Amino acid sequence: MATQGKKSAVEAPPIVRFGRVKSNLKMGILGLPNVGKSSLFNLLTEQSAQAENYPFCTIDPNESRCPVPDQRFKWLCDLWQPASIIPAYLHVTDIAGLIRGASEGAGLGNAFLSHIQAVDGLYHVVRAFDNPEVVHVDDSVDPVRDLETIMYELCRKDAAYIQSVKEKKELELKKDPKRKPPPAYYETMEKIDHMIENNIPLRSGDWSIEEVARINDTIPLAITLKPIVYLVNVDKRSFLRKANKWFAPINDWVKSHGGGTIIPFSIEWEQELWDLKNDPEAKQAFLAESNGLKSVLPRIVKVGYNVLQLIYFFTAGEPEVRAWTVPLGATAPEAAGAIHTDFERGFIKAEVVAFNDFKELATGKSMGPIKAAGKYRQEGKSYIVQDGDIIHFMFNVTAKKK
């Protein structure tokens, strides 16, 4: 039996979030045509497919999954040398280019916007490079104008959706006046209408826990509730200089429209680096000429994973080292259920050690030194799993009575 360590004081934090609370959430790549969306998607897809020993699945031509890079996972794999290696994955969808008027059916119109509704977070790719060979849909490069276009279309789509929800509610009231919502419902809807009319994304509102619950119940498919990561695609020269005339205007716009992470990157530079994958010497020379810069793609994947409020825990041994994705705030039984529903149904306890404690104390594969130091804990049903926990679950499932 495991050494009894100190009980953890970790309790459930008051997590306020919109959207689904699941482990299989998706990021969608959004933007106008010819801004680098599909090129980014292809690079992420190709690098995932090439990742040695990682199972890879291209779900369909515009959806794939990317391993989430993590040095902790690599360290565990190096230690255990397992037969099977399975990292955490981020699911990514390449959404067709939006154009002005999409909310009214222009271009792919409603099909495009329904694709956005199907994902849980967005990479908004913005073009900040000049290239006469790559035609801009509006004939000139202006990232701030493009940001305004996308936000306007998303807000218009949300406005139509919210109006349909309100009309349905009014019909229900006519049929049964006793089902009238409380005053708080109307206050929340008024606040929502004001934000959407002014092209302000709903995710940026100052919402109470009660309002978040009300919004999730009333308008769960609103697009502007989704978290956004802004990816600024610049030319190779700007990437190497870490400077571009559009950086400041883009930063100001994002701050005034709900905030969010901004990541400058260069498809041009990333593609050149990737094309040298089979020539180590040329790749090393290319990086040496790049002033110490590295690929930004791993950061893009990690940030996308984090904005979806996902974490992972590890199971580790000689047969397999695996990272299991769970929502932030998941309890020990819920995390056990990520492995198998029987683990959750018959949960007894979780034997837990934090990764940093294991790395600091381990002298090999044995848990002996960790137990001796009192860092090997036994946790119950109320334990909130922390990112990077190494867990062994104890469970017992009896056959259901017929």
pLDDT for res 180? 87
**Which tokens belong to 122?**
């967005």
pLDDT digits (tens, 9 = 90+) for 69-121: 999 999 999 999 999 999 999 999 988 777 666 556 554 555 666 788 889 99
| Strand ordering across the sheet containing 377-379 | 84-86, 320-327, 310-316, 389-395, 347-354, 377-379
pTM of the model: 0.88
pLDDT for res 118? 87
What is the CA angle 270-276-282, rounded to 5?
Answer: 115
pLDDT digits (tens, 9 = 90+) for 196-252: 999 999 999 999 999 999 999 999 999 999 999 999 999 999 999 999 999 999 999
- Cβ contact 76:88 at 8 Å: no
pLDDT over 70 (residue 153): yes
Query: Is residue 99 classed exposed, middle or buried when 0-12, 13-18 and 19+ CB atoms within 10 A define those classes?
Result: middle
**How do 121-127 and 228-233 pair as beta strands?**
parallel
**Which tokens belong to 162?**
């919210």
pLDDT for res 103? 55
Question: How many angstroms from the chain centroid is the CA of residue 168?
Answer: 32
Of the candidates 84, 82, 96, 42, the residue with the CA atom closest to the CA atom of residue 66: 42
pLDDT for res 5? 46
pLDDT over 80 (residue 47): no
**How do 261-265 and 347-354 pair as beta strands?**
unpaired
pLDDT for res 51? 47
d(CA 201, CA 332): 34
Residue 93's contacts (CB-CB under 8 Å, 6 or more residues apart) are 26, 27, 28, 29, 62, 63, 115, 118, 119
pLDDT for res 60? 53
Mean pLDDT of 26-35: 90
Question: How many angstroms from the chain centroid is the CA of residue 261?
Answer: 12
Mean pLDDT of 344-349: 96
d(CA 105, CA 38): 22
- Cβ contact 18:212 at 8 Å: yes
